[in-house]
Structure 1
Amino acid sequence: MDDIALAEVTRGGRVESLHHGRIAVMDDTGRVVRALGAIDKPIFPRSTVKALLALPLVETGAADRLGLADAELALACASHGGEIRHAETAASMLAKAGQGLTCLECGAHWPTYDAAAHALAATGAQPTALHNNCSGKHAGLICLSIDQSLDPAGYIDPGHEAQRQVTEALVMATSVPHNETNRGLDGCSMPTYAIPLAALATGFARFGTGRNFSSGHASAAARLRSAVASDPFMVAGSGRFDTTLMAHFGNRIFCKMGAEGVMVASLPDLGLGVAIKTDDGANRAAEVALAALLLDLGALLWNDTDREVLAGLAHQVMKNWNGREVGTLRAAGKG
């Protein structure tokens, strides 16, 4: 099946650009609810699976024994913008594990949120690994390692015991193999595994309902969803799609953007999971496509304010540097 147009950019009343891709909507049994494009084709989920990787941190009791707060659990699921609170929360997680900055193996980069990068540069300081958008995920792996009396060094390697546990969580959720045959290397040096888009969507249906999870993992998923709902800023940051969507919907929707135009969502009340992949890796296209899809899927659930929020995310006005409207970014065919 050919991939379809997911989003379009307009200018002067004409479609200027098109973003193509695929969408899988699955229930927690693995049944296809909606398929647009080649949903059985493997993709690298990238950062979309961070909440699944955080399951062992909670399920083993490590989070409780180390006294991790909701904000810290939310950061473990995050691709954050490197704002002050993000970096401070990552540092707090490490401190609770008795570790410091040098334990992080994700590498350093400037905050992806421009205002945070400018503010840091104005102080004359350089970014550290705490500003890496994946620092919360890495801090979570370090916390898991320390709690289980493991040497955290090399926690990013597939053979490390903590890495083995989080990979098993991915297999449990998606019901597909994660091994050397489909392994790649993510931007933060953690493994990422190519799996069918349909399997990724199934995993997030189960993240919302607990199906196919042990009772401990199901409770961990519920706690992580609650932590994210209570502090969605930690998962992304200022002005981000994920933050806006989850700040409004709370526990009703979990969503997570990943690199190269991968997006997932969990809809616990409907027992559904969504996975989107854009062919050109455009995150903006995945975002508007998800908003439009949610408008449709939750038609009987959403109130007027819900629909207004989703409509605004699915059809965004684009302005130039003078603040003048130049066009729109919208779900394809929704003009």
Structure 2
Amino acid sequence: MANPVDLVEVWRGDLLECVHQGHAVVCDDTGQIVESWGDPTAIIYPRSSCKMIQALPLVASGAAANLTGQQLAIASASHNAAAIHTDLVGKWLADLDMTDDDFRCGPALPMDEAARNALICSGTAPCQIHNECSGKHAGFLTLKKHLKAGPDYELIDHPVQKAVKSAFEEVTGETSPMYGIDGCSAPNHACSVHGLARAMAFFASAQDRSDVLSTAAARLTQAMATFPEFVAGETRTCTDLMRAMDHKVAIKTGAEGVFIAIIPEKRLGVAVKIMDGSQRGRDCAIAAILVRLGVLDPNHPAAVARRTPAIFNRRGLTTGFIRPAPLLA
């Protein structure tokens, strides 16, 4: 990708030891760039940051008519597989008259420490319901059932994935040039950083429109902001920062350094891509932009922990700090 810029600095003592470079775009409800850093045309995979886009056909089709806000939040989630997550997805599966075997996301150890330790100590193998994407896949299964389509809903030519691609291209305003297979086996369509920010601005301004896709986007945004614990989980950046912003902003991380934000009050969408894929880089960058836009208090503990955290060694001594680069500060 051409021309990434310094977004995050890592200092040890008085020496700038590391820099995380990347691209970021803030987009308004007309699709225009309000601010940008790096190359807005850089092509990326949004990875899990676009799960609310992947859930659009679920809601727009009418298949989600009886789903709760918690279910829509977890359909847009990369959850910890804590009990609140697996209990919700398990009940959802039962309501569909389906089982773990109907998933196509693959098994994974829970990110939640208590749930992971319980599995390990009991000698129980993880199931697909423990996959951080099982909520998204429960949404796919719901849409598959609604469409009376075949079981392999993760395949690119399946009606579910055709609907996802159509929605993705509509809200990004781009024809996706390619796709990759995500960690959960679902296709992940590429777009520009600007396209991803444009899609988030579509969600941020959805309440201003009454068409089917906008109504679906508004419902998903509200679910994410209202139930941040189902979008990620305790101690996770998505959950902590949404709570810190009083449930007024929806944010979602993705693998390999991607982060998005949906800001309904300002009708703004944000997309961040950190080139080295680091978690600390993407967390600092999104927090810095949210502070810059006036929706996150820089002094809130959740903001400090991501935007300007101290670095400690194993004895608890402060050895350095992370901060936004001057372009973002």
Scaled by the length of structure 2, the TM-score of the pair is 0.92
2:3 is the counterpart of 1:5: no
Paired residue secondary structure (1:102): helix
Q: In the alignment, which residue of structure 2 is the partner of 1:162?
A: 160
Identify the match of residue 229 of structure 1 among 221, 225, 231. Answer: 225
Q: In the alignment, which residue of structure 2 is the partner of 1:324?
A: 317
Q: In the alignment, which residue of structure 2 is the partner of 1:23?
A: 24
User: Which sections of structure 2, spanning at least 5 residues, go unmatched?
Assistant: none
2:129 is the counterpart of 1:130: yes
Paired residue secondary structure (1:133): coil
> Do the aligned partners of residues 43 and 17 (structure 1) sit closer, same or farther apart at CA in structure 2, a change above 3 Å counting?
same
Per the TM alignment, residue 250 of structure 1 is displaced from its structure 2 partner at its CA by: 4.1
> Do the aligned partners of residues 273 and 292 (structure 1) sit closer, same or farther apart at CA in structure 2, a change above 3 Å counting?
same
Q: In the alignment, which residue of structure 2 is the partner of 1:98?
A: 97
Q: In the alignment, which residue of structure 2 is the partner of 1:268?
A: 264
> Do the aligned partners of residues 243 and 86 (structure 1) sit closer, same or farther apart at CA in structure 2, a change above 3 Å counting?
same
Aligned 1:242-281 pairs, distance under 5 A: 242-281=238-277
> Do the aligned partners of residues 55 and 214 (structure 1) sit closer, same or farther apart at CA in structure 2, a change above 3 Å counting?
farther
Q: Distance in 2 between matches of 1:133 and 1:191?
A: 16
Per the TM alignment, residue 254 of structure 1 is displaced from its structure 2 partner at its CA by: 1.1
Q: Distance in 2 between matches of 1:60 and 1:190?
A: 19
Paired residue secondary structure (1:112): coil
Q: In the alignment, which residue of structure 2 is the partner of 1:308?
A: 299
Q: After superposition, give the CA deviation of every residue in 1:2-36 in whole Å (9 maximum; x if it has no partner).
A: 21111122223432221111111111222111111
Q: After superposition, give the CA deviation of every residue in 1:240-280 in whole Å (9 maximum; x if it has no partner).
A: 11001112224421111000001111111111111111110
Q: After superposition, give the CA deviation of every residue in 1:24-55 in whole Å (9 maximum; x if it has no partner).
A: 11112221111111110101111111011111
CA contact (8 A) 2:154 2:185 kept: yes
Structure 1: 4+ residue segments shifted above 6 A: 211-214
Q: Distance in 1 between matches of 2:133 and 2:313?
A: 31
Q: Distance in 1 between matches of 2:202 and 2:37?
A: 21
CA contact (8 A) 2:165 2:189 kept: no
CA contact (8 A) 1:28 1:203 kept: no
Question: Number of matched residues?
Answer: 325
User: Which sections of structure 1, spanning at least 5 residues, go unmatched?
Assistant: none
Per the TM alignment, residue 230 of structure 1 is displaced from its structure 2 partner at its CA by: 2.1
Residue 34 of structure 1 aligns to which amino acid in structure 2? E
Scaled by the length of structure 1, the TM-score of the pair is 0.91
> Do the aligned partners of residues 113 and 77 (structure 1) sit closer, same or farther apart at CA in structure 2, a change above 3 Å counting?
same
Identity %: 36
C-alpha root-mean-square deviation of aligned residues, in Å?
Answer: 2.0
Q: In the alignment, which residue of structure 2 is the partner of 1:45?
A: 46
